[in-house]
Every structure is written in C-alpha cells, then in structure tokens.
Structure 1
C-alpha cells in the first residue's frame, strides 16, 4: 500500500484512542463497584472518601470525552455513545450539556464578556470563598436556559440527536427513581449526594481556573501593547494533574482543545507556562484554595489580585 493511502477507520479494530485512557476506564469501573459494595455491606468512611474523589474524576472524564472521543476504529460510534450513557449514569446528569455550555460557550468566548458563565458576571470580579461556593448555582441558573434553547433547536432540526439527549435524561432520572424506590436512604447517601458533590466541582472548577484572570478578548495585534492573550486562565501544577487527567493545565487545554489530555503536560512546560502572568501559574490546587479562600479571610496578602482592568469588570 502506498504511504499516502489512508486506512479507513472502519477497518481498524475498536480500541482506545490513547493508552492513557485506561486510567479513565479504571475510574469508570471502580466508582460503581464501591457504591455497590457499600450498598450491600454498609457505609465505610474511607471507601466513601474514595467515592467522592472518583465523582470528580468522572466529571473530568466527561469533559475529556466531549473534546476528544475516547474510542476509535470499528464500532467506535456505538462505543462512544455507550460511554456517554455510562457517564450520564455515574455523573447524575446528561453528558450532552458539555457541548453547548463548555464547547459552544466557554471555549468559544474564553471567559470574555460573551461567556454567559464568566465568573465576573455575578457580583463583580471576585475571587473569594463566597464567590466559589455561589458560582455553581449562579452558573446553573444561566446555563439551563441555554440547554433548553439548544434542545429546542435539536428537536426542530435534528430529531435523532434530540432523542439521544432525551435518552440521557431518561436514564439519569429513571436511575434515581429506581434507587429511591429500592432504598431512599441508601440512594441519597451513596448515590445522589456524591453525584451532587461531583457536579459542584464540575461547575466550581470554572471559578478556580478563571476568577481574577483577564477575560478581555485581546487580538494578536494588541498583544504587545495590552498584555498577554493567554491571561484568561489559571493553571495548577500539582498532584491534581496525575490524579485528575491534567485538568489543572487549563491554558494548554484552551489553546489546544483537541489535544489528548496526556499531552497537556508537555505543552504547558514547553509553550504556555512562560507566556502567562506568573500569578496564574499556581502549585497545588488545595494549597491555593486554603491560601486564597481561607487565608484571604484574614490576611490581605493571601488574596489574589485581579488582572482585569476596572472598566472591563462587568
């Protein structure tokens, strides 16, 4: 076969797009096993702690799978759809929402004034504990009308895609109803509360990664006179990345949204770390939260500084 000839995707056996996605599959398999064990044998505090952590992992896997589908090759379409439904079941919310809210809105507008869930839309340009706790509710308030409009457009123009999304709602709500009927206390403690915990982090991550960053849309021609084009996101370089699929390396992800998550470390180290304001390159996520959200309640020096010009904070 000539080198220029391409291999049809249908002739490639079904396989993971990248071998590092075995970590994703491990998380997706371990979470329901932990829930099932506790459902049968009783609540165990350290298993519950692992479960809560894995709900964060499911949210990040959902994010990564939206940007770059996990499966490729023969029957990959069905494998990716099955993964969507599995994520919906584990996450407690349909996976389709990431497309209009994250790809169509957040990645398109990059925390600018057209990003409907921008952190400085709600109560000004803040970065403190109350803003962090309130942001998931504020974001959900403005995002759900977006989902409704998007679904209405699907129903009118792409009824098959609309039914696919409605199937996710049916699976999510049906699973909650069935578990609540079987044992409402176990369902609440072992399934629903952990899923809500994961959804909190899924939405609150936007605040962690963008609060006090510069959301202005700066053109390349303006870059040298008005500052970096890349100061719209904060990066975390600590243990969060090997545990949660490099979710802390946010600038590299925004600039290369179709890169596999395993490639972000090299992109961050080689290109993006030196090109953003040093204040946006943090170490560990938890030390940052302790310093800014808790220490900032007492010491002014622990607080972050906004990179937004006053006239842009709206």
Structure 2
C-alpha cells in the first residue's frame, strides 16, 4: 500500500523515534550509550521533518485513511500540525521560489545575508511571518470548507493533549525527551530554508536554490538536491538524484555546494576568521534593495 516501496525508510524513522524516546524515558541513567541514543533521537527529529516535507508533496500511502493516520502520527512526533506545510511551503515557497513574494525569503530579514547569525535567527524570523499566513489560510478554509478546517484543528488538539499527558507523567522527562527534540527538529525544518537559499538569486529561473551532495542525501531522503525538487515538487524523493544530474550543470557552480557539514563549517565558522571564505550573493544589488 506504500506509493513507493523505498518509503520503508520513512516508516522506519517514524517508528524508531517514539520507541527511542520511550526507551530513554524508561532508562534515564547517565551513560555513554544513552548519550549516543539521545544524539540519534535528535537526528531522527531531522528525518521526521524531511518525511513531513515529502509527505506534504507526495502522500506516502495510496489509501486516504492511512495518509490521514500518518498526518496525525507526524503531528504528534513533531509537536506541530502537518497541515501547515500546505499554506507555508507548497502555497508560498514553492509558488514563489524564494522570489520577492515569498514571505520567508532569506533576504527579507536584515538584508541579503549568509552568515552564522543569519542562520540562527532565520527560524524565528520565518516563524513570525509564516504563522500569520497560516492562520489567514486556516480562516479561509473555515469559511469555505468547515470540515477540512476542523480536521486541521484536531491536529493542534492532539498535540496539546499529548503534551499535557506527558508533562503530567514527568515534566522533566517531557522537556528533555519530547519538547527539546521537537524544537530541535523545528529549528532544522525552518533553518533549512536559509541553508538552501541564502545568497541565491530569487529572481533567477535557475539560480534560486543551493544543492548539497554527500551523506546528507541517503540519510535524509535526498533533501540536499533542491533545484531538482523545486523543478519537480511531486517527484518521489528517490527520483531526485537522476533529476539533479539534469540541472546540475545549469545552475551557478557556487550553488553546487558539496557536502552539507563542510559547507556550514566554511560559511559560518571559517568566514569569521578568514573573510575571503565568506559567501557571496548571486543577486544583483538593485534587486536586493528592491525587496
């Protein structure tokens, strides 16, 4: 019943995350093993965010009921509703592709930047402009499709009930094993926009996104192959490597950034010591100032 059999990897992440949290809840002792397992827990919050992204573009299952159950499962794991991707990501980011109408474009906040402070601030800045967009969309849905809006609001209710139950059981463990990992996942979900688009050209038909290669892609469902994803948003994630080869030579060489972690190290850390390592914007000055 899976749309693509490779989504066993997605299901494995979605099952492993709560099982790992439950194990650490039951075994809270300080040990090297538990420290490693907690690191794995944090990694799985990244994977869940990518799975959420993929599920919003192309549903995992062929059946409606299984897809709805997956919506609620991801909602509970992430601590925020899955429906927010439709107005904030599909209806905004993919529609305007980091252009002047994209409300969370990176060059909207403090100029066209690509540095450590900008990366750290972007999730907060993006949330402040995306949530009003989400609530306006939800109000429109309430007027036009009341049943659909009730379905979406039930996702908020599910999160609230789970949080209250876990906090009642043990609020220390809830903060450490549930809320903090969820915030970690949310940070990466929003900060990825900065990694993939800061100092790209939001006015260009080809140079609006940055691509990453290396281990990030097999581990996180080819999330680094961003130009191909924008060009083919409903392509399954397993198709992106082949599509990436079609576009790789068409984008500015600076936007094929290699592996993710070395890119972050040289862009956000080395550039503080050696300014010549700093990122350079591809957007023309006049266009930066116009937004």
Superposition TM-score tier, normalisation by shorter sequence: over 0.9
Equivalence map 1:229-308=2 (5 Å): 229-269=205-245, 271-308=246-283
Higher Cα Rg: structure 1 or 2?
1
1:93-112 aligned at under 5 Å gives the runs 93-112=80-99
Using the alignment, how far apart are the partners of 2:56 and 2:131 within structure 1?
Answer: 18
Once the 2 structures are TM-superposed, how far is the Cα of residue 41 of structure 1 from its aligned partner? Answer: 1.1
How far off its partner does 1:40 sit? 0.6
- Which deviations, in whole Å up to 9, do the C-alpha atoms of 1:258-302 show, x marking residues without a partner? 100000001102x11000000000111111000000011111121
Gaps of 5+ in 2: none
Q: CA deviation at 1:174?
A: 1.2
* TM superposition shift of 1:21: 0.3
**Residues 189-233 of structure 1 deviation map (CA, whole Å, 9 limit, x = unaligned):** 0000000000000000000000000001x5xxxxxxxxxx21000
Equivalent residue for 2:28?
A: 42
CA distance in 2 between counterparts of 1:31 and 1:63 reads 17
Question: Gaps spanning 5+ residues in structure 1: where?
Answer: 1-14, 219-228
Residue 17 in structure 1 maps to residue 3 in structure 2: yes
Cα offset, 1:311, TM superposition: 1.0
1:58 equivalent to 2:48? Answer yes
| Aligned match of 1:132 | 119
TM-score by length of 2: 0.97
Following the alignment from structure 1 to structure 2, what is the Cα–Cα distance between the partners of residues 37 and 120? 42
List 4+ stretches of structure 1 deviating above 4 A. Answer: none
Name the residue aligned to 1:80. Answer: 67
SS of the equivalent of 2:199 reads: coil
Displacement after TM superposition at 1:303 (Å): 1.1
Q: What are the Cα deviations for residues 43-81 of structure 1, in whole angstroms up to 9, with x where unaligned?
A: 510000000000000000000000000001xxx101000
Does residue 32 in structure 1 map to residue 8 in structure 2? no
User: What is residue 165 of structure 2 aligned with on the other side?
Assistant: 178
2:59 maps to which residue?
69
Partners of 2:160 and 2:85 in 1: CA distance = 18
Of 53-62 and 38-47, the range deviating more from structure 2: 38-47
Distance in 2, Cα, partners of 1:288 & 1:176: 36
Instruction: Report the Cα distance in structure 1 between the residues aligned to 2:131 and 2:58, rounded to whole angstroms.
Output: 24
Partner of 2:144: 157
SS for the counterpart of 2:110 is coil
TM-score by length of 1: 0.90
- Equivalents in 1 of 2:191, 2:158: separation in Å? 25
The 2-side partners of 1:78 and 1:310 are apart by: 50
Say what the alpha-carbon RMSD is for the aligned residues: 0.7
Per-residue deviation, residues 64-108 of structure 1 (Å, max 9, x unmatched): 000000001xxx101000000000000110000000000000000
Q: What is the match of residue 115 of structure 1?
A: 102
SS in 1 for 2:5: coil
Q: Secondary structure at the match of 1:27?
A: helix
